[in-house]
Chains A and B, each alone.
Chain A
C-alpha cells in the first residue's frame, strides 16, 4: 500500500514524464526457467535482509528513543556479554548457510550447458554485436546488430529531438537475433577488441565477452516475444549504444526465418560487380556511415578532438594518392579504428568511401565502385 502511495505522490510530481516510463521497482521475472529461479532467489534474499533490517533498526530506534539523556536515562556500565555475543555470531551464520544452499543448487544448474539444440556466438566489438549461428537449425548464419538509426539520430548531442517520444530509445537494433522458443540455446560470448558483456535481463544472466576467450551460458525461452538487453561492461565511448534484441518465435517461424536469411546471405555475398551511380552511392554511403562511423567520426565528419580524427577536409579522405589508404583503413582498420572488411560488403565499402570523399565539403567528385574495393582487398595493406 505504501509503495502505491509513494508512486502516486511521485506521479503527481512528475506527471509529464510518466507517460512512457514504467516505474519498475523490482527485478524482472524473465522468460526462462533459470531467470525465474533467480528472481525467486532475489526475492528470498530481499525479504531476509528486509526482516533483519526491521528487527535491527527497530531495536536501535527503540533504544534511541528511550535511552536518551533528555528523558533522564542513566547510563548502564556493562561492556560485554559472552552469551549475546555468541548468539549474534551464530544466528547470522545460520541465516547465511540457509541462503548459500539454494544458491549453490541454482549455480550448478546454470553451469550445465550440455544438450543444447542450437549454439550461437555473440561477438562484441566497438560498438555492435556480431552473431554467428554455429550449431543446430540456422547453422552458418551470421548477422551484425547495431543500434538503430532513429536512436542514433535522437542521441546526438543537441539533436533537438526528444527521446521521451521514442518508446524504444537506445533499445532497438537494425537487425535482431531470432531464436526459437522452448529450445535449449547455448550462447557463447567473446569479443574482438575490448571486453563487453552480453546481458538480456529476461534471460536472467549476463556474461562477459572477452577478446581471445569464449564463455558459455544457456537459455530456454518459454514465451515468444521481443526481449531487450544491453552491453553491461564499459567498452568505450559507445558503451551505452550497443543494445541487444532477441526475437523469440515459434520453431516454425524460426525455420522460415532461417531459410529467408540463408537466401539473402548468399545473394549479398557477391556484390563486387555492382556499378552504382554517384547518387545511389551517396545515399547508400550515408546510411552505412550513420550506422558504422558516426559514433566516432560524428555526423558532421569533424570527429572528436583528441580521440577520433576528423574526416572533413582530412588528407586521407581528399587526396588522390591516399585513395587506397582510405579503403585499407576501412577494410583492415588502424589502431583504434576497427576493421570493417569482414562485416561490410564491397558495395557498402565503396558507397561509404564515396560518401566520405564527397560529404561535408570534401567534394572531390571521386566515385569508388565495388570492383575497386574487391581489388583493394587483394593487395597488401598499405598502412603496414
Chain B
C-alpha cells in the first residue's frame, strides 16, 4: 500500500517559523487550523465557564450585567467562527486531498491566507473586551438598534466579521476548486467519500451566505457612522430588515456547522460497523436537500417579530419539511450499523452519541418549528438547550470523533484508547447534565441572555452549572491525550482501523509531507467507502 506514497526520503519540509507562516502545504495548514480551533474552543469555553459561574445561583456574584452580556455574545462568536468552523476547515484541508487523491489543495497560497486572516480577525474581536464601552454585548446576532449602542469596539466587531467571512469564502473556493479539478483520474463525484460531499455542499453554502452577512454588517456600519438609516424606523428603515438579512445568512450557517459533522459521522460509522454506508446516494441527496431548504426557513428565527400570517405559515411548513431529509440521514446511519460487526473505539462512541443527541436536538427543533408553540419557546432556555444539543453534542462531538479517528493518520501513533474512552464518557455525561435541564428552565419560563434570574429557576441552573464545569474540565483531558499521541505511543498502521475504507488509508501513517505527487491508479478496492 505504501507504494503510493513514494519518495519518503525526499520529504523535504521547510523548518522553523517559515514552515508555519509561509506554508502552502495542506497538511500543515490543516494542522494550523485545527490547533487554532482548539485554542478558540478553550477561549470560548472559558467564557462559558464565566457564564455558568454567574448563573450558579441567583443574585449577581462575579460580573456586571453588561460584561455578562458581552460574554454571552463573544462566547457565541468565538465558538461558531473560531472553533467549529475552523475545525471543520482544518479537517477538510487535511483530509480532502488525501481522500480524493490530490497532491495538495488547488490554491495553496490562498489556503495560507485564508488561515492567517483568522488570528488577526480574532485579535480584533477579542481586543474589544478591553476597550472603552466593552465588547459586543447585544448577542452574536448583532440586532440593531442595540448593537449600535456598542462603544469603541463597534468597528472592530464589524471588521472582524468581514475578515472571518473573507477567510471562509476563500476556504470554500479552495475546497470546490480542489474537488472539481484534482480528483484522482477515475474517481467520479458519486464515488467520493461522504465527508468530501458534505464539504462541497457546505462550501457552496458558505459562498452563497457569507456575502449576505458582510452586506448586513456593512449596513450596520454605515447606519452608525455615515448617517444611513437602513435599520432605523425614524429614517424610514426597519430594524426587522436586519433580522431577515442576518438569518438569510444565519440559517445556512447552522448547516455550515452541521454538514461537515454529518460527513464525519458517515465516515466513522461504516468503519466501526465494518459495513458499507447504507444509502450512499440518498445521503448525498438528503444533504443537498437540507442545504437548499436551509435558504427557505430563515424566518423561523423570528416568528415573534410580527410576520404576516401567510409568512408564518410558509416558514413553519418549510421548517418542518427539513425533518424529512434529516430523518433520512439518521435512518441511514442506523441501517449502516444494523447487522454490522461493531466495535466501540472512541471515534465510534462519539459518532453514536452524535446520532442520538443530534436527533434529540432535532426533536426540539421540530417543536420550535411549530409557530404557535414557538411563541412560548422563543428566546428561552429551551432554545439554548436546542442549539447546544445540535452544536455541542452534535457538531463538536463529531469533530472530537474525527480527531480521534484521524489522529493515527496525522501523527503515526495511536492515541491512548483508555483515556479516549474516559474523555468520551465524561463529555457525554457532563454535557447532558449541562444542557438537558435547560429544556425545563425554558419551559418554566426562563428567558435566555439574562445575568440573574428568579428563584424558581435556582435548582436546575445549579445542576446545569455543575455539568458545565465538569464538561469544561473534561476537555483538558483531550489536550493531554492529543499531546501524548503526538509525542509517541503505539505505532499506527497505514490502515489504522480494521474496517477503514478510502484513499486516506492507502498512504502511510503518519501521512508524509507530500502525498499523491503523481495521481494514484485507482483500483476497485480503493474506491470502497
Contact = CB atoms under 8 A, between A and B. Distances in A.
Contacts of A96: 320-321, 323-324, 366
Interface in A332-355: 336
A159 interface: yes
A322 interface: no
B281 A46 contact: no
A59 B355 CA distance: 13
B275 interface: yes
Interface stretch (B5-13, B45-53, B249-257, B333-341): B333-341
A90 to B, nearest CB: 9
B64 to A, nearest CB: 6
3 smallest A-B Cβ distances: which pairs? A212-B233, A240-B450, A24-B444
Interface SS majority for chain B? helix
Contacts of B58: 163-164, 169-170
A79 B279 contact: yes
Contacts of A231: 447
Given A96-B321, A237-B64, A63 B334 contact: yes
A237 B66 contact: yes
Given A73-B341, A85-B282, A206 B373 contact: no
Contacts of B309: 107-108, 111
B359 A53 contact: yes
A60 B328 contact: no
Interface stretch (A196-204, A364-372, A375-383): A196-204
A236 B279 contact: no
A60 B360 CA distance: 14
Given A41-B372, A89-B324, A67 B341 contact: yes
Interface in A210-245: 210-213, 215-216, 229-241
B356 A208 contact: no
Interface of A: 10, 14, 17-18, 20-28, 37-38, 41-42, 45-46, 49, 52-53, 56-57, 59-60, 63-64, 67-70, 73-81, 84-85, 88-89, 92-93, 96, 99-100, 103-104, 106-108, 110-111, 154-159, 161-164, 166-171, 193-195, 197, 199, 201, 204-208, 210-213, 215-216, 229-241, 295, 304, 306-307, 336
B462 interface: yes
Contacts of A85: 279, 282, 328
Contact of A157 (B64, B338, B454): B64
B340 A76 contact: yes
| Most interface-central of A14, A60, A111 (chain B CB within 10 A) | A60
Given A49-B367, A59-B334, A208-B305, A234 B233 contact: no
A18 to B, nearest CB: 7
B284 to A, nearest CB: 12
A239 B339 contact: no
Contacts of A78: 278, 339
Interface stretch (B188-196, B290-298, B376-384, B478-486): B376-384
B510 interface: no
12 contacts: A24-B443, A42-B376, A57-B356, A63-B337, A68-B342, A89-B328, A110-B372, A169-B454, A230-B450, A236-B138, A237-B137, A239-B450
A60 B348 CA distance: 14
A210 B239 contact: yes
A194 B450 CA distance: 16
B526 interface: no
A206 B375 contact: yes
A164 B66 contact: no
A367 B316 CA distance: 60
Interface stretch (B80-88, B128-136, B169-177, B403-411): B128-136
B450 to A, nearest CB: 3
Given A10-B463, A336-B149, A69 B342 contact: yes
A106 B274 CA distance: 48
Contacts of A194: 145-146, 149
| Most interface-central of A28, A59, A92, A154 (chain B CB within 10 A) | A92
B455 A53 contact: no
B65 A238 contact: yes
Chain B contact residues (Cβ within 8 angstroms of A): what range? 35 or more
A307 B376 contact: no
B65 A206 contact: no
Given A27-B443, A170-B452, A304 B372 contact: no
B234 interface: yes
Given A41-B370, A193-B145, A232-B378, A304 B64 contact: yes
A3 to B, nearest CB: 10
Contacts of B339: 63, 67, 73, 75-76, 78
A92 B359 CA distance: 14
Contacts of A92: 323-324, 327
B518 interface: no
A24 B440 contact: yes
B371 interface: yes
A338 B63 CA distance: 24
Contacts of B280: 79-80
A241 B450 CA distance: 8
Given A25-B440, A100-B316, A194-B146, A157 B60 contact: yes
A69 B277 CA distance: 17
B328 to A, nearest CB: 6
A369 B313 CA distance: 57
B105 to A, nearest CB: 30
B118 interface: no
A63 B340 CA distance: 8
A68 B146 CA distance: 54
A205 B340 contact: no
Contacts of A75: 273-275, 339-341, 499
A31 to B, nearest CB: 14
B146 A70 contact: no
Given A17-B459, A73-B341, A99-B320, 13 more contacts: A56-B334, A79-B278, A99-B370, A103-B316, A169-B454, A206-B378, A210-B306, A234-B143, A234-B146, A235-B146, A237-B137, A240-B450, A306-B133
Contacts of B450: 230, 239-240
Given A21-B457, A75-B341, A107 B335 contact: no
B337 A212 contact: no
B462 A14 contact: yes
A156 B64 CA distance: 9
Contacts of B145: 193-195, 211
Contacts of A56: 330-331, 334, 359
Given A63-B338, A155-B452, A210 B305 contact: yes
Contact of A240 (B343, B356, B452): B452
A88 B240 contact: no
A207 B376 CA distance: 10
Nearest to A298: B64
B330 A24 contact: no
